[in-house]
Amino acid sequence: DLALESNPSDHPRASTIFLSKSQTDVREKRKSNHINHVSPGQLTKKYSSCSTIFIDDSTVSQPNLRSTIKCVTLAIFYHIKNRDSDRSLDIFDEKSHPLTREEVPDDYYKHDPDHKHIYRFVRTLFSAAQLTAECAIVTLVYLERLLTYAEIDICPSNWKRIVLGAILLASKVWDDQAVWNVDYCQILKDITVEDMNEMERHFLELLQFNINVPASVYAKYYFDLRSLADDNNLSFLLEPLSKERAQKLEAISRLCEDKYKDLSKAAMRRSFSADNLVGMRRSTAILS
């Protein structure tokens, strides 16, 4: 139970690993700006006023795809940059199992990929396979679960195959229309189906076949990704709240409010019926 509560991919109260790893850089950046008296520059963030309300189009139930992928790849970047060690497994090593026919350099394990490189890799997969933003969040959950369960690190030598394995699994578990392994071979044309199958099998075994993602864990990762975006000036696109969208939000809120009222009334009726039943049994017992 203690191990479960300390694992962020299983327990909603445990802090996500990526947010913890990013804080080192955030604190250093703020400290450097303070010491060097660096101005934050012109404020580009929009703020609501009495006449205008700004909202973004990303919610926990319907995240914005582009912004979510940017945040997830930034989380992966911090995992690699601030890793504790270089523990890995052969099945994820790009030298042993290359994704392309291009020769892997001998010093491939020394150079950390930048955020743009990771983003392009993930964006290509999501675009070609037509995956959803929710799938990106589940991908990050599986990635952190793998690192915790298998006690390995994501590093320059294995990050592509680990990310690919997490995306492959998340797309099958989360999306209604799963992408088959052979479909990924059409995207990454130099990888074989046998290699994909073997990697998926190892990934599942290392996860101990725990592919369940509770709603509370999913929500925690979504909001921690938004915190990561704020810390790195990676803002979500804000737009003025239009009259039509305000009316739509009001209608949705009213519908949810009526739904919860009905649930509350039903619960009260059940409670009242249970109290009456207990009272009748007591009366029968006394008369007996």
Q: Which of 236, 248, 215, 168 is nearest to 60 (CA)?
A: 215
Q: Does 41 have pLDDT greater than 60?
A: no
Q: How far is the C-alpha of 107 from the C-alpha of 8, rounded, in Å?
A: 33
**Do residues 156 and 162 touch, judged by C-beta distance below 8 A?**
no
Class of domain 64-263: mainly alpha
Cβ contact 184:129 at 8 Å: yes
- Which helix (H) or strand (E) segment holds residue 238: the answer is strand 238-240
Burial class of 174 by CB neighbour count within 10 A (0 to 12, 13 to 18, 19+) = buried
Average pLDDT of the residues of the chain: 84
What are the boundaries of each domain within the chain? 64-263
* pLDDT > 70 fraction of the chain, expressed in percent and rounded: 81
Q: What is the pLDDT of residue 2?
A: 45
What is the total residue count of the chain?
A: 288
pLDDT classification of 214: cutoffs 50, 70, 90: very high
> CA 29 to CA 78: how far, in whole Å?
14
The model's pTM is 0.79
Q: What is the DSSP letter of 165?
A: H
What gap in Å lies between CA 178 and CA 181, rounded to an integer? 9
Contact 67, 236 (CB under 8 A): yes
Q: pLDDT tens digits, residue range 142-163?
A: 999 999 999 999 999 999 999 9
- 234 vs 112, more confident: 112
- Quote the distance between the C-alpha of residue 113 and its chain's center: 20
Contact indicator for 224, 16 with CB cutoff of 8 Å: yes
Q: What is the DSSP string of 53-79?
A: -EEES--SSS--HHHHHHHHHHHHHHH
